[in-house]
Amino acid sequence: MSRVFGWRSAVAFAALAALPWLPGVPKYYLLLAFDALLFGAIAMSLDLLIGYTGLVSFGHAAFYGLGAYATAILLERGILSLWACLGFAIVVVGLYAAVVSYFATARRGIYFALLTLIFAEVVFTFFRYTQTFGGSDGIQGLPDALVFPGVAIDTPARKYYLVWVYLLLAYAVCRVLVTSHFGRVLVAIRENEDRARFLGYNVQKYKMLACMISALLTGLGGAIYPIRAAFATPDLMLWTESGEFIISVMIGGLGTLVGPIIGGVFFTLLRDKVSSYVDWYFIVIGVVLVVIVLFLPKGLLGLRRALGFGRWRATA
Amino acid sequence: MDYLVAVLLPQLLHGLVFGAALGLLALGLTVIFGLLGVMNFAHGELYMMGAYAGIVVIGVTGSFWLALVAAPVIVGVLGAITEAATLRPLYRREPLYGLILTFGLALVFREGVRQIWGGDMRRILPPFTGSTPLLGMTYPDYRLFLLGASSVLLLAIWLFFTKTRAGIIVRAAVQDAEMLDGLGVNVPRVFTLTFAGSAALASLAGLLLAPVFTVYPQMGVEMILLAFIVVILGGMGSMGGSVVAAFVIGLAQSLFSLWMNPQRVAIAIFGIMIVVLIVRPRGFFGREGVLE
């Protein structure tokens, strides 16, 4: 257990759990924290694929958006149970992810990136133009979901704890995976796919599994989004959204798990803060991205080392 | 017969026109991909800036023809500066970084244009109107010019790559940049100039298509996906394949829209690509081992 969960993670999660108890935290900031942690968790799931397996997925927005639509469709029809929503999201995202990962993992490098991108565009186009699911407006005005009959996730604090639990579970899953034998094989595939194959590993099976796990975690993240926002729109699946997930991974630091969480939080806060002052915040985000690629290839976590701190835990 | 002349034939021509322009866009993309291993996400923005550079030049001089010369120069210079300043430091790093970098550049370019010229749709008027009787129907002159100009450009590019020393050096750099460096060629300069050339081609495509389509900051986002599909279909790094695939996609797009509503056309195009990749994983003319 300690191998998986260091004291630093425990302190960090405890501090995050205490956030709603701080005196005078406005509701708006709790919801912003929701978005930040959700984005961070999804970036972390993507890191499993990019940082550890060396597969750049440009289609994660589709998993995210499908999860969101799964919840939205159930809530819209009056099925309010959180567990039903999550279960439905797992089924929907799982089926789609199985198809995508089967075809995409057969290819490497840029082909993988573009195949995931095109598959995601198919899903986006489908939802964008299907009036049953609201077309470009998506599904709006959803009721609150229920954890148990009678216990609704209605206050910002409850919504915040929902994402906190999700982040905790997702982090535990990812951390267990990357420290396990399975995780080491993924790194071996990233470093030298052919050699991993010669050693007798069924490389595509490992890549597919990594892809499925990453997709399901992202889909679950998508599934809790409408519970906070009360809507799901096709824009959640736009390929630029996938780009923003990748940006978060890069900002934080590839192959570190913690880095992408920080990257996702940083990205969400940056977007929120900058967009409240200027309407050209995309320029700021673009420039930040360019600067990080050019000068901080290891991301924000790389800063620690540059500043003389010890290395973050071994990156498996 | 009436159906043929009144419906099918114009649509086929539309497809050819669009395919030729798409070919210009995809060629630049595929050459850059072959050279730098980078899928240039900012390519669509270079295409878009070609149209805006055209609007500016037309606004100042009032001449479409002058714009046709000036816009590629402006965007080409911008491309050269961008390449030298941002992509050059990344040559020795993984292609992933180039992909992310160009994604960031695309954001900056798109938002920059929106800030300067606003987000609303604009039009560039064709330099000449009128239409020509052709095979029993009438077809707009400008579209015929567009088809002719794009075809001439494609031919010129082909001659450049096969007949000139500069073109052969670029092809050699695609094959093996390190070896070329060893032979005493200034490879970084080749990269920068090629990037500038590809930017100029993209901007030409943007300006040539502007009188047919509309001009707005997001216009590149939709084209770039099609251009990606073209490059993949043709086979990564295969220039001939890109041109063939551009015509296939151009024709498919315009023929499908006869029978389906436009939204389903997009899905059909994606479907074509997915099927081709499953049957012929390397596209029409892709070779084994090219950047996999």
The whole-number pLDDT of residue A3 equals 58
The whole-number pLDDT of residue B287 equals 60
* pLDDT at position A111 over 70: yes
Averaged pLDDT for residues B240-247:
88
The whole-number pLDDT of residue B289 equals 47
* pLDDT at position A312 over 70: no
Averaged pLDDT for residues B120-147:
82
Which of B206, B195, B194 lies closest to B67, judged by CA? B206
What gap in Å lies between CA A117 and CA A61, rounded to an integer? 9
**Which band of pLDDT confidence, cut at 50, 70 and 90, is reported for residue A316?**
very low
Nearby residues of B11 by Cβ (< 8 Å), 6 or more positions away = B254, B255, B257, B258
Query: Which residues sit opposite B122 in a β-bridge?
Result: B215
The alpha carbon of residue A123 and the mean position of all alpha carbons in its chain are separated, in whole angstroms, by 18
Mutate which of A294, A296, A298 to disrupt the B interface (most B C-beta within 10 Å)? A294
pLDDT tens-digit profile of B31-49?
A: 888 888 788 889 999 999 9
Whether residue B225 and residue A293 make contact (CB cut-off 8 A), yes or no, is: no
Averaged pLDDT for residues A291-301:
82
pTM of the model as a whole: 0.84
Averaged pLDDT for residues B188-195:
89
Averaged pLDDT for residues B111-137:
83
The whole-number pLDDT of residue A314 equals 42
Distance between terminal CA atoms of chain A?
16
**Which band of pLDDT confidence, cut at 50, 70 and 90, is reported for residue B171?**
confident
pLDDT tens-digit profile of A222-259?
A: 999 999 888 899 989 988 889 889 888 988 888 888 99
Strand pairing report for A146-148 and A151-152: antiparallel
The whole-number pLDDT of residue B292 equals 41
The whole-number pLDDT of residue B129 equals 79
Asked if residues A289 and B99 have their Cβ atoms less than 8 Å apart, the reply is no
Counting the structural domains of chain A, the total is 1
Averaged pLDDT for residues A63-92:
93
Q: Which domain holds residue A115?
A: 7-237
Query: Which residues sit opposite A139 in a β-bridge?
Result: A232
The whole-number pLDDT of residue A239 equals 83
Lowest mean pLDDT segment, chosen from A261-275, B134-148, B213-227: B134-148
Give the residue on A whose Cα is nearest the Cα of B118: A280
* A293 chain-B contacts, CB cut-off 8 A: 90, 97, 100-101, 104
Give the residue on A whose Cα is nearest the Cα of B115: A280
Give the distance from residue B275's alpha carbon to the nearest chain A alpha carbon, in angstroms.
10
* pLDDT at position A311 over 50: no
ipTM here: 0.80
Give the distance from residue B282's alpha carbon to the nearest chain A alpha carbon, in angstroms.
9
Count of beta carbons in the 10 Å neighbourhood of residue A29: 17
pLDDT tens-digit profile of A163-213?
A: 999 999 999 999 999 999 999 999 999 888 889 999 989 999 999 999 999
**Between A316 and A162, residue with greater pLDDT:** A162
* B228 chain-A contacts, CB cut-off 8 A: 114, 117-118
Asked if residue A267 is part of any domain, the answer here is no
Does B149 reach chain A within 8 Å, measured CB to CB? no
Asked if residue A213 is part of any domain, the answer here is yes
**Which band of pLDDT confidence, cut at 50, 70 and 90, is reported for residue A23?**
confident
Whether residue B228 and residue A117 make contact (CB cut-off 8 A), yes or no, is: yes
Q: Which of B33, B107, B266 sits opposite A286 (nearest CB)?
A: B107
Give the amino acid at A157.
A
The whole-number pLDDT of residue A70 equals 94
Averaged pLDDT for residues B206-214:
89
Asked if residue A286 is part of any domain, the answer here is no
* B103 chain-A contacts, CB cut-off 8 A: 243, 246-247, 289
